[in-house]
Copies of this chain bind each other. A is one copy, B any other.
Amino acid sequence: MIKVVKFGGSSLASATQFAKVGNIIKADPERKFVVPSAPGKRNSKDTKVTDMLYACYDLAEAEKDFSKELKKIKERYEAIINGLHLTLSLDDEFKIIEENFKKKAGSQYAASRGEYLNGIIMANYLGYDFVDSAEVIIFNEDGSFDADTTDKLLGERLSKLENAVVPGFYGATLGGVVKTFSRGGSDITGSLVSKAVHATAYENWTDVSGFLIADPRIIDNPKPIKVITYRELRELSYMGASVLHEDSVFPVRKAGIPINIRNTNAPDDEGTWIVESTCHHPAYTITGIAGKKGFVSVNIDKDMMNAEVGFGRKVLSAFEENGINFEHMPSGIDTMTVFVHEPEFAAKEQAVISAINRNAHPDSIEIEADLALIAVVGRGMKSTRGTAGRIFSALAHANVNVKMIDQGSSELNIIIGVSDNDFDTAIKAIYDIFVTTQL
């Protein structure tokens, strides 16, 4: 049984945090492979080491003196080393970095040193082997990721080791040029390592106890989600919930490895399990609520529209011609409404309207702005009758005017349109009815 553990920047920002991480790893002998991020912020006014590296390298590239800045970075690491009472010197490493900065080795190389150095410290602290990701995470010359070669090299290398530290965020071309992942960062590395070693679980340690049912900026102390499917996760993340980047879950999802989101500062919390599918009965009927503001509805009326083959296609073509993606298209009888993102639509509004008129000859077109869409997501909704009734009764009691409802046959989510002004109220009302009052 092998677990891969990835730690985020705030989990590794200081010696104190490193010590917590050490305890977590040692508490479970299955936690054999460790993927560290670069040191994050120690407090809200602090700077992440990665950002310090970018700034420092900018000076190098401008052929200005960067010694003071590099020294400060070195001090961050030394504070961790000293705090952990390690006998480790990074002098040689920093000499190489200084030389490479002078040679203008690239900002991706510069940024990657945050994880690289943290990985060295982590390996020393744990007594684990250190594997430089530049040797096992492989990019093509054009900067795209080479999944097959990576899986092969990473698998071969790690199969020979009892345990190891593999720094996140970067890799290199076979020619040795360091490249970083553009989005998802160390989460992707953790996912790749998990796949390569056929892990039984990929633990992703952060500073929150898993995903929350709703946005904590709207709901006080929302409950965490215990188990969520990839599908539900994607739905919540699409609607604005802050979760793992798509690219970072892809390798483990393909391999069927569950992800466990954990909190370094509350290691006893179970966190959230992300799985392909599950018979785990959710704690509440709904798994999560998420939403986004800033939508526009384009409401199109035409007598006998429903009898006109191709009408919907003609309307949608008008949006497509202008490169605008539609979000939802609820329809009544002789009326259809197309929901689009306001920023995308605003500039092309008149072009789209004239295209609709040209393509589909509607009787009228009405536009309403400042709308929000809310997704109520949950695999438990399909088997629970009355979910829709509870949602809309709750919204009515909260005096929220429902402007759009969309629920297809998948029954995994209901999309609700409300005015931007009603957004928070609506989310609170839905959270309360399903979670606070535990219906």
Q: Which residues of A contact B (CB under 8 A)?
A: 231, 234-235, 238-239, 246, 297, 299, 301, 303-304, 306-310, 312-313, 316-317, 320, 323-337, 366, 368, 375, 385-397, 399-415, 417
Contact between B320 and A413, CB atoms less than 8 A apart: no
Alpha-carbon gap, A170 to B372, bound state (A): 54
Alpha-carbon gap, A402 to B383, bound state (A): 11
User: Contacts A306-B327, A329-B329 known; A388 to B404 CB distance under 8 Å?
Assistant: no
Contact between A313 and B309, CB atoms less than 8 A apart: no
Contact between A235 and B325, CB atoms less than 8 A apart: no
Alpha-carbon gap, A308 to B238, bound state (A): 13
The number of times this chain is found in the oligomer is 2
Contact between B404 and A332, CB atoms less than 8 A apart: no
User: Contacts A313-B313, A329-B312, A393-B393 known; A405 to B407 CB distance under 8 Å?
Assistant: yes
Contact between A386 and B375, CB atoms less than 8 A apart: no
A230's closest neighbor in chain B, by CB? B303
Residues of B near A404 (CB, < 8 A) are 407-409
Residues of B near A401 (CB, < 8 A) are 385
A368's closest neighbor in chain B, by CB? B409
A408's closest neighbor in chain B, by CB? B337
Alpha-carbon gap, A35 to B258, bound state (A): 75
Q: Which one of A400, A409, A415 has the greatest number of beta carbons of chain B within 10 Å?
A: A409
Q: 16 other contacts beyond A308-B325, A386-B395, with CB at 8 A cut-off?
A: A297-B408, A312-B316, A313-B316, A313-B317, A313-B320, A330-B408, A332-B410, A332-B413, A336-B408, A337-B409, A368-B409, A388-B395, A388-B396, A390-B396, A392-B393, A405-B405
Residues of B near A392 (CB, < 8 A) are 386, 388-393
Q: In the assembled complex, how far is the CB of residue A319 from the closest CB belonging to chain B, in whole angstroms?
A: 8
From B238, B390, B407, B408, contact of A393 by CB (8 A): B390
User: Contacts A309-B320, A317-B313, A388-B405 known; A333 to B297 CB distance under 8 Å?
Assistant: no
From B323, B332, B408, contact of A332 by CB (8 A): B408
Residues of B near A406 (CB, < 8 A) are 330-332, 405-407
